Structure 1
Amino acid sequence: DRTLPPEHQGSAFACVDPSGVGPRLFFQRVPEGKTVKNRLHLDIRVGTGLVGEERVAALESECARLIQLGAARVRLLRADGVNESCLVMQDVEGNEFCLD
């Protein structure tokens, strides 16, 4: 946090498993308010290091697996030159999360 400019300090935090085995949890403040269920929005890393259609294929594969478990597909957000593609989904209670 101290490495960020003052106006961005306190806007993002990460928890990392010291052994490097478990997932990293990244917490980020966003300007928009949420009016539905979510109190926490998870981005699940699926396509790390992949780009283009290879990344989309990895996202789609994981999406299909999660649908079998009760999740619902919301929309695919294609790469826009700034961000890589991600896939927005909902869990069984309607909370959004992203495959990223």
Structure 2
Amino acid sequence: MTRVVQVTFDCADPAGLAAFWADALGYQLQGPPAGFGSWDEALDALGVPAERRNDASAVVDPDGSGPRIFFQRVPEGKQVKNRVHLDVRAAPGRQGDDRMATLEAEAERLVARGATRLQRYEPDPPLGAGHIVMADPEGNEFCLD
């Protein structure tokens, strides 16, 4: 039986990190539950106090094909390098200088939105196409591939 996968990030600012990843992936913030015009309206109805309204957030693929990404507030900060990370496929089908130029442009765009550039790996044929390692605004590593 096939399972549905959700990717979860532990973080300090779920709303902020959700906004970053929505932009990075072309996703959108998940809308409120059916019957509510906004998240504030839904959270009011659920009795969630103002200080708890940034405890969680989620983004979804507008086409419905990618996994939901969930962000949950945790008290501790990031401690070590991620063992699992996202690869953002920013240059599919491109090779060589064209591929790396596309990745560089996306790296610059994401740095302007709060990401940090960590390291560039040059193409190393036949298996290595080249990629750029980045970190999101809370330090979670990801690759532009």
TM range (shorter): 0.5 to 0.7
1:22 equivalent in alignment to 2:22: no
TM-aligned CA deviation for residue 24 of structure 1: 7.0
1:70 equivalent in alignment to 2:114: yes
Q: Counterpart of 1:70 in structure 2: which amino acid?
A: G
Unaligned stretches of 5+ residues in structure 2: 6-62, 69-78
Q: Helix, strand or coil for the counterpart of 2:94?
A: coil
TM-aligned CA deviation for residue 23 of structure 1: 3.6
Hey, what does 1:56 align to over in structure 2?
100
Hey, what does 2:132 align to over in structure 1?
87
Q: Helix, strand or coil for the counterpart of 2:120?
A: strand
TM-score scaled to structure 2, two decimals? 0.45
Q: Counterpart of 2:96 in structure 1: which amino acid?
A: G
CA 1:55–1:23: 2 relative to 1, 3 Å: farther
Please give the root-mean-square deviation of Cα atoms over the aligned residues, in Å. 2.5
Rounded Cα–Cα distance in structure 2 between residues aligned with 1:83 and 1:21: 30
TM-aligned CA deviation for residue 39 of structure 1: 5.3
Identity %: 44
Rounded Cα–Cα distance in structure 1 between residues aligned with 2:131 and 2:111: 16
Unaligned stretches of 5+ residues in structure 1: 1-14, 26-34
Where is the helix percentage greater, Structure 1 or Structure 2? 2
1:45 equivalent in alignment to 2:89: yes
Q: Which portions of structure 1, spanning 4 or more consecutive aligned residues, are displaced by more than 6 angstroms? A: none
- Deviation per residue, 1:35-72 (Å, 9 max, x gap): 71525300000110000000001000100110011000
Question: Across the two proteins, how many residue pairs are aligned to each other?
Answer: 74
